[in-house]
Structure 1
Amino acid sequence: MTKTIPAALAFAFMASAAQADLPVLNVLTYDSFTSEWGPGPAVEKAFEAFCGCDLVFSAVGDGAELLARLQLEGAKSDASVVLGLDTNLTAQATATGLFAPHAQTAGNDLPVPYADPNFLPYDWGYFAFVYDKTKLATPPTSFEELAASNLKIVIQDPRSSTPGLGLLLWVKAAYGDRAPAIWAALADNIITVTPGWSEAYGMFTAGEADMVLSYTTSPAYHLIAEEDDSKASAAFSEGHYMQVEVAGKLANAPQPELADQFLAFMGTDAFQSIIPTTNWMYPAHTLAEGLPKGFDQMITPAQSLLMSADEAQTARKPALDEWLTALSR
Structure 2
Amino acid sequence: MFQALHVWLLALGGAALGGAFVPAAAQTLEVLTHSSFSLSEELVAAFTEETGIEVTFIQGGDAGETVNRAILTRANPLADVLFGVDNSLIARAAQADLFEPYTSPQLARVPERYRFSELVTPVDVGYVNFNYDVAWFEAEGLEPPTSLEALTEPAYRDLTVVQNPASSSPGLAFMLTTIAKFGDGWLAYWAALRDNGLQVTDGWTDAYYTAFTRYGGDRPIVLSYASSPAAEVVFAEEALDAAPTANLFCEGCVFEQIEAAGILAGSDNVEAARTFIDWLLSREVQEDIPLNMFVYPVSEDAEVPEVFREHGGLPEPEHVAEIAFDEVAANLDAWLEAWTRVVQQGQDPGAVR
TM-score by length of 2: 0.79
Partner SS, residue 32 of structure 1:
coil
Counterpart of 2:183 in structure 1 is 176
Partner SS, residue 293 of structure 2:
coil
- Shift in CA distance, 239/159, structure 1 to aligned 2, threshold 3 Å: closer
Could you tell me which of 324, 339, 345 is aligned with 1:323?
339
String of CA shifts for 1:244-289, please: whole Å, max 9, x gaps: 111101232122111010110111112111211111011111344x
1:147-296 → structure 2 map (5 Å cutoff): 147-148=152-153, 149-151=155-157, 152-203=159-210, 204=212, 205-208=214-217, 209-226=219-236, 227-228=239-240, 229-288=243-302, 290-296=303-309
For residue 202 of structure 1, what is the amino acid of its counterpart? Y
- Shift in CA distance, 190/111, structure 1 to aligned 2, threshold 3 Å: farther
In the TM superposition, residue 84 of structure 1 has moved relative to its aligned partner by 0.6
In the TM superposition, residue 296 of structure 1 has moved relative to its aligned partner by 1.2
Distance 2:322 2:113 in 1: 9
The answer to whether the 8 A contact 2:148-2:253 is kept is no
Aligned pair count reads: 304
Distance 1:168 1:281 in 2: 20
Q: Does 1:313 align with 2:329?
A: yes
Distance 2:288 2:165 in 1: 27
Partner SS, residue 30 of structure 2:
strand
TM-score by length of 1: 0.85
In the TM superposition, residue 239 of structure 1 has moved relative to its aligned partner by 3.6
Counterpart of 1:39 in structure 2 is 39
Distance 2:114 2:31 in 1: 26
Percent pairwise identity = 32
Distance 2:112 2:314 in 1: 12
Q: Does 1:114 align with 2:115?
A: yes
Distance 2:111 2:134 in 1: 30
- Shift in CA distance, 182/189, structure 1 to aligned 2, threshold 3 Å: same
In the TM superposition, residue 156 of structure 1 has moved relative to its aligned partner by 1.0
Distance 1:115 1:260 in 2: 18
Distance 1:322 1:42 in 2: 46
Counterpart of 1:77 in structure 2 is 77
Distance 1:246 1:61 in 2: 16
> Which residues of structure 2 form unaligned runs of 5+?
1-24, 347-353
For residue 92 of structure 1, what is the amino acid of its counterpart? R
Partner SS, residue 285 of structure 1:
coil
Distance 1:301 1:135 in 2: 23
Distance 1:317 1:125 in 2: 24
In the TM superposition, residue 310 of structure 1 has moved relative to its aligned partner by 2.1
The answer to whether the 8 A contact 1:121-1:244 is kept is yes
Counterpart of 2:86 in structure 1 is 86
